[in-house]
Chain A
Amino acid sequence: GAVVSQHPSWVICKSGTSVKIECRSLDFQATTMFWYRQFPKQSLMLMATSNEGSKATYEQGVEKDKFLINHASLTLSTLTVTSAHPEDSSFYICSARVTDTTRNEQYFGPGTRLTVT
């Protein structure tokens, strides 16, 4: 149980284009999902919290107009990197929290490696 998938696993795009990444909880419902980015040999940095049916909450310094998040159902959240630039190249990982107020566990997707050329 508690499987999270992410698609695509890797993507290469040109500067100025947009890329959409999907995060799905496969065997549980997730009211809340989280989006992280991770640079090589560094920790996970939370970008935003995605809540089903409402606007995402962005961390300080993260541009909400550049990183568009949509959480339209209890099993799917999407992150769209708009007008991508080479500095956006990174490993993007989502996580999903089990919808149970007595539990805190977050389960991670396999990540998406984005390369912007």
Chain B
Amino acid sequence: GENVEQHPSTLSVQEGDSAVIKCTYSDSASNYFPWYKQELGKRPQLIIDIRSNVGEKKDQRIAVTLNKTAKHFSLHITETQPEDSAVYFCAVNLGNEKLTFGTGTRLTIIP
């Protein structure tokens, strides 16, 4: 089955700086790569996603890049704000509908 690794597990960033979280996956047939943000005790919320036919996607301060050859994709958050503090999960979809999640990154924005 698909194996997804996520790094780092924790990340502290000064407010206003950028944060980058990276995920690697094992199955080259994977074709959909979403990122979720989960605040404590709440539901995961889809913040951005990318499909395998695209290399980069941006939505305001959030961007995702995909390197299919190397089988990794990254979440980039620029101009970080305190409300960005949360746990972020990457996920990978093989086209069979199931999502395989990464282990999560706890992001803390330091005011």
Contact = CB atoms under 8 A, between A and B. Distances in A.
B44 A44 contact: yes
Given A43-B101, A43-B102, A49-B98, A104 B93 contact: yes
Given A34-B98, A105-B49, A44 B89 contact: yes
B34 A111 contact: no
B98 A108 contact: no
Interface in A77-117: 93, 97, 104-111, 113
Contacts, number: 46
A93 B101 CA distance: 14
A44 B89 CA distance: 9
A32 interface: yes
Nearest to A9: B41
Interface residues on B, range: 20 to 34
A43 B99 contact: no
Interface in B90-111: 93, 97-104
A32 to B, nearest CB: 6
A33 B92 CA distance: 17
Nearest to A97: B97
B104 A43 contact: yes
